Amino acid sequence: MGNRTIRIPLDLDPYQRQILLDTMHEYSKIANYIAQKTYYLNTISQVKIHHLTYRDVRTQSNLPSQLIISARMKAVDTMRVLKKRGRRAPPKFNKYMAIRYDKRSSTLGAGNITLANISGKRIKIPITIHSYYRRYQDWDTKSLDLVFRDGKFYIHVSVERDDPRFIANGDIIGIDRGIVNLAVGSDNSFHNGSRVKKLRNRYSHNRKTLQKKGTRSAKRRLRSIAKKETQFQRDVNHCISKKIVGNMERGSVIVLEDLKGIRKAGKNRSKSLRSDLNRWAFYQLDLFINYKAAENGIRVEYVDPAYTSQKCSRCTYTSKKNRRRSEFLCRSCGFSLNADLNAARNIRNDYIDTLDPYQLAYLVTNQIQRAHISIPDVASP
């Protein structure tokens, strides 16, 4: 199952803006009122709460009935979640809480959207959906939220689709992510990060100089650098994920390290390198690979990152001494290889080790049928 959120900024005239703000405040007022009621009535049944509050609210508020119902559903849902976590006190909804719309309270057309609101008359707002989102046009719309963020209104449309049926073709690629080589595939593909590192160092140097200055213009420059850096990182991650997924066919498996485990000392990277690790950038790359893989019928699997850089990918002998900077040299069998590539192969092998004999036999048969050629060893990129 895949799901995405499409964000549409709303271009409003002052009147529409005021109406939507008023509607939002009233919506949150009602949600808070119902959450209180839910608390005192000591029930989280949507039906019971509806019968006990609807008429009351309807006479006191000019919020359209569909939005009263929506506020009640949100309030009771939230109470239900809190109760599961062992909290009974009612939540306090912010006055800018998102309004959940449905088909009866909104209409999403090709060039505009109409929204029910407090004025009693629907407002129609012209919209432009970014061309990027066209790929989701045949997905199912699950929900539609009116969101207020940083002084602006947005519509968030959440769409959903079942993943196309996955039939393994036997291709499995392990990917090692790092600093020098941003990503290395067990198929000997290197996605080099030297340009990225150079730029990042330059940014970090400029940042330090500007931070020392501390003037107002320096602060402004700092913000613009941060923005550029984020954009740059994003472009790099898009590019790498596209290349990784683009090299694979439908039915392939990409294996990544589960980096939630990287905090455990298992990963033997030097301290300076680890301090360099932009963890956020790693997660972003992870995310992009997942998105693109899902759209192309490729599966992403995870393995524990412990020892992937210390283990020999040929004989599995594991020792810290095996790794010396960018080169891997096995102290047991003498096998040598680029260290990141060795890690990528371990990632692939670790995943294969988790398969049961039937799955394995199936993959092997598929690979032989496809005349899969084994990959030669290379010492360096």
User: Applying CB under 5 A, which residues contact Zn ion?
Assistant: 312, 314-315, 317, 330, 332-333, 335
CB neighbourhood size of 122 (10 A): 14
Instruction: Specify the residue, 315 or 360, whose C-beta has the smaller distance to Zn ion.
Output: 315
Give the span between the Cα atoms of 26 and 71, in whole angstroms.
10
The structure tokens listed for 9 are 């900024």
With contact defined as beta carbons under 8 Å apart, do 72 and 44 qualify? no
* E strands present in the chain: 2-9, 99-101, 106-108, 112-115, 123-126, 140-149, 152-161, 172-177, 181-185, 190-192, 253-257, 299-303, 323-324, 327-329, 336-338
Minimal distance in Å, beta carbon 315 to Zn ion? 3
Instruction: Specify the residue, 229 or 350, whose C-beta has the smaller distance to Zn ion.
Output: 350
Rounded alpha-carbon distances, angstroms, from residue 221 to 150, 197, 201, 216, 232: 21, 21, 16, 9, 16
Minimal distance in Å, beta carbon 334 to Zn ion? 7
CB neighbourhood size of 286 (10 A): 20
Minimal distance in Å, beta carbon 331 to Zn ion? 8
Residues 6 or more apart from 59 whose CB is under 8 A from it?
A: none
Minimal distance in Å, beta carbon 307 to Zn ion? 13
Instruction: Specify the residue, 276 or 327, whose C-beta has the smaller distance to Zn ion.
Output: 327
The structure tokens listed for 3 are 């799901």
Instruction: Specify the residue, 252 or 310, whose C-beta has the smaller distance to Zn ion.
Output: 310
Rounded alpha-carbon distances, angstroms, from residue 13 to 45, 125, 281, 349: 40, 9, 38, 59
Instruction: Specify the residue, 287 or 333, whose C-beta has the smaller distance to Zn ion.
Output: 333
Helix (H, G, I), strand (E, B) or coil at 2: strand
Q: At what angle do helices 14-41 and 65-84 cross, to 10 degrees?
A: 50
Minimal distance in Å, beta carbon 324 to Zn ion? 14
Instruction: Specify the residue, 181 or 346, whose C-beta has the smaller distance to Zn ion.
Output: 346
Minimal distance in Å, beta carbon 337 to Zn ion? 10
With contact defined as beta carbons under 8 Å apart, do 71 and 34 qualify? yes
Instruction: Specify the residue, 315 or 375, whose C-beta has the smaller distance to Zn ion.
Output: 315
CA-angle at 329, arms to 364 and 196, nearest 5° = 85
Instruction: Specify the residue, 285 or 330, whose C-beta has the smaller distance to Zn ion.
Output: 330
Minimal distance in Å, beta carbon 166 to Zn ion? 34
Minimal distance in Å, beta carbon 176 to Zn ion? 17
Among 290, 288, 291, 312, CA closest to 301: 290
